[in-house]
Structure 1
Amino acid sequence: MTKGHQGHLNGVKMALRILVGCKRVIDYAVKVRVKPDKMGVVTEGVKHSMNPFDEIAVEEAVRMKEKKLASEIIAVSCGPQQCQETLRTALAMGLDRGIHVEISGKDYETLQPFHVSKILAKIAEEEKVDIIFLGKQAIDDDCNQTGQMTAALLDWPQATFASKIEKNNGDLMVTREIDGGLETINVKLPCVITSDLRLNEPRYATLPNIMKAKKKPIAKKSPADLGVDVSPRQEVLSVEDPPVREAGSIVQDVDELVSKLKAAGVV
C-alpha cells in the first residue's frame, strides 16, 4: 500500500488532494418501514439524500480548499445509478469531480463497509490523495466501520469523530469527541478523517453552483475495475421493527416507587 506524497509532509507545500465519501441513504426525516418479507427496509418511492455526516465531511473539505490548503477534492459514491444525484449535490457544494462506483441489485443489497473500504483504499491509491474524509457513520446502518477499515487497509493514520481540524505545519491537529470529553491528536499525512456532528454546519448549494455542478465530470467505475470482490461476507437472516415501548405507570409516593423498583430487580 502506498504511503502517500512525502512532498506534502515537509510543511512547505500544503496543496492537498482530498477524497470524500458520499453515501446515498434514506432521508433522515423519513420513517423507515420494514419490508413484509423481513429481509430489509422499503426503499422504493422513498426520499433519499446524502448521509448527513458525509455532508459535514464535504463541507470541511471545501473549507480547506477555500483556505488554499487543498488543490482538488474528489467525491466518490458506491451504489446504483441514483448515487449520481448524491454526487451532484457534493459537486454543487464545491467539490471538483466525482467517481461513481456502480453497484446494483443483489450486490448492492449485500454491500458492506469492508467492501466500501477496499474500494476507497484503491481509489485513494490511484488518485494519489492525501486525505480521505468520511462521515463517522451512516444513518442507515450506523456501522461506524468504513473510516477505520480504510485507514487499516492503507496503513494510514486515522482521526475519527473529528470536531475540529487545524493545520499544524505539515501535519493536521484534530480535536476528537470521545466518551470522556475531547481529545486532541497530531496526525501525519496521508490520513483518514471521519467527521463528527459538531465539526461544522454544511452549506446549502446555491442555484448557480447547482447549474455548474451539472457540467462537472463524474467518472464511472465498477468494483471489478478496482479489483474488488463485493461477494457478501455475512447473511441477513431477518430485519425486525424495534419493540414498542410499553406505557409507564404513575406512582403515588417514593415508597411505592422503591417497592416497584425492588420488584423489578433494579435496586
Structure 2
Amino acid sequence: MSVLTETATAPVARSGGGIGQSVRDSLVIARRNLIRMTRIPEMVIFGLIQPIMFVVLFTYVFGGSIKVGGTISPQAYREFLMAGIFAQTVTFATAGAGAGIADDMHKGLIDRFRSLPMSRGAVLTGRTLADLVQTALTLVVLAGVALIVGWRVHENIAKVLFGFVLLLLLGYAFSWIGALIGLTVRTPEAATSGGLIWLFPLTFISNAFVDANQMPTFLRHIAEWNPFSATVQACRVLFGNLPEGFVTPDAWPMQHPIIASILWSVLILVVFRTLAVRKYRSAAV
C-alpha cells in the first residue's frame, strides 16, 4: 500500500516546482539534444557547409559585380555581405529545429515526454536552447571563414559581440517558428520543406545581399521593414561594415536598426513561443 502511495504522489511532488522546475526540465531536454548532436556529428558538419558555400560563392562570384555605396569594390562588398550571411545562417537553422521536433513526434518520443511529470513548455524550450548552442558554434566557425576571405570589423570588441548577440536572439526567435512548424506537420521531410520555403523570400527580399536602395519601390519598402533586414543593418553598424558612400534608407527600422532588431526578435519570440506551446498542449489532449 505504501509503495502505491509513493508512486501516485511522486509525480505531484515532481511537477510542483513552478518556474524553477520548468528551467530544470528545459535544461535536461537541452542536454539530451546536445548529447544527440555530438553522437551525430554530420548534423553539425552539414549545417556548416551551406553557409560556407554562400560566403565563398557570393564573395568571389558576385563580389566584383555588385555595387554598394555607389561603387563596385570587392573588399567593400565582402564586409557588406557578411552580416547578411550571418543572419541567413541563424534563420536557416529554423528548418533544422522544425525537422528535429517533427522527427521526435514521428518516433513517438514527444508522447513519452508528455507522460512524464514535467513542464509542458520544457520540451520545446530545451530543444530550441540546444539549437541555439549549435547555431552559436556555427557562427564561430563561419566568422573564422569570413576572416580568411577578407572580412574585417572596424569597431571595438564590445560592439562586435553585441552584434553576434543580436544574431543569436534573431535565430532563437525564429527557432520557435520552426518548433511550431514541426508540431504542425506530420513528417520531418515536410518540416524541412515548410521551414525553408518561406525563408528564401524573407532573406532575399532584404538588404542582406544587395543595397535595398537599388530595388524597385515596392520591394524596397518590404525589405526596409523586414525583421531580417533590421538585424542585418544593426550588425553592419556594430561591425563597422557600412561602406563609404552608403545611403541609409529613411524607414524607421533602418534609421534605428539596433532597437528595431531587438523589438522584432522579442515580438517574434513571444508570439511564436505562445503559439508553439499552445499547439503542444492541444496535441497532448
TM-score, with normalisation over the residues of structure 1? Answer: 0.24
TM-score (norm 2): 0.23
Which is richer in helix?
2
Higher strand share: 1
